[in-house]
Amino acid sequence: MCGRFAQFSKISVLEEFFEAETFVNTDTPFYNAAPGHELLAVIYRDGKRRMGRLRWGLVPFWAKDEKIGYKMINARIETIDKKTSFKNAFASKRCIIPADGFFEWKKKGSKKKPYYFHSPESNPLAFAGIWESWTRADGSKLFTFSIITTSAKGTARDVHDRMPVILPLSTLSEWLMGKGDAPNDQAGHGNLATSKAFLEKVRITQLNCFAVSQHVNSTKNNDLSCIEEIANV
């Protein structure tokens, strides 16, 4: 799974890197982003990539309680097109989650040791995600997302059996609009099996990795020390 990641690049940097318009004016660095946080995401709408904040933890449009989102932080690629919670968003509400890196924990005896994964070039990563809009009883809207995960390969496989689906920049439009579909005002409604195969084919697996301190274990901690390398002992 992916239960924690970092998103600290400045909005201006992400706007240029992902070629997206943004409606967010305040930089809020997350060195230890956790479910429930309001984080930057890129969607496709009105012929443009647009970047705004969504809450991490998907709340399906039919849900009775928004707390269900804490159980919906990841969508497994193997079942995303079959799960009632995810298949609607997978077909029509796709997004990209910018990330500077992500964390996984490796079991070592009775303990778990945290590791930080990032791009070899230290560029932002593009997580494939899905989003939803949910209406509260008072009529206000809640916008949420889930990160798509798959079996770990490359460096990540030595630490954990799952990892986020990370997309190359050249494939972002295909993902957001639907592979093989014409662009429209949201995402494409393509063949979901084709979309799953597309994600598996193009995903990035080569990442750099190093050990970090137990400081990252607490979601209350949100500072540079969360991503500082320590001796791997």
In a domain, 103, yes or no: yes
pLDDT over 70 percentage in the chain: 94
Regions of the chain with pLDDT less than 50? 180-189
The pLDDT of residue 15 is 95
Catalytic residue among 16, 38, 95, 104: 104
Cα angle 176-117-107, degrees, rounded to a multiple of 5: 120
Written as one letter, the residue type at 161 is D
Which tens digits make up the pLDDT trace of 55-84? 999 999 999 999 999 999 999 999 999 999
The pLDDT of residue 193 is 87
Helices (H), the chain: 11-17, 87-92, 172-177, 192-202
Which tens digits make up the pLDDT trace of 82-112? 999 999 999 999 999 999 999 999 988 888 9
Q: Long-range contact list for 38-42, CB < 8 A, 24+ apart? A: 39/7, 39/97, 39/145, 40/7, 40/11, 40/14, 40/97, 40/98, 41/95, 41/96, 41/97, 41/98, 41/129, 41/131, 41/145, 42/18, 42/95, 42/96, 42/97, 42/98, 42/172, 42/176
The pLDDT of residue 79 is 95
Which residues is 26 bridged to in the sheet?
Answer: none
In a domain, 24, yes or no: yes
The pLDDT of residue 191 is 77
199 CB-near residues (< 8 Å, 6+ apart): 77, 128, 148, 150, 165, 167, 175
In a domain, 51, yes or no: yes
DSSP string, 15-42: HHHTT-EE---S---EEEE-TT-EEEEE
The pLDDT of residue 192 is 87
Q: Rg (Cα) of the chain, in Å, rounded?
A: 17
What total of structural domains would you count in the chain? 1
In a domain, 233, yes or no: no
Residue 18, domain CATH: 3.90.1680.10
130 CB-near residues (< 8 Å, 6+ apart): 58, 75, 80, 86, 89, 90, 93, 94, 95, 145, 146, 148
Is 2 annotated as catalytic? yes
The pLDDT of residue 190 is 54
The pLDDT of residue 233 is 63
In a domain, 232, yes or no: no
The residue range of the domain holding 168 is: 5-227
In a domain, 168, yes or no: yes
Is 104 annotated as catalytic? yes
Cα angle 7-131-160, degrees, rounded to a multiple of 5: 55
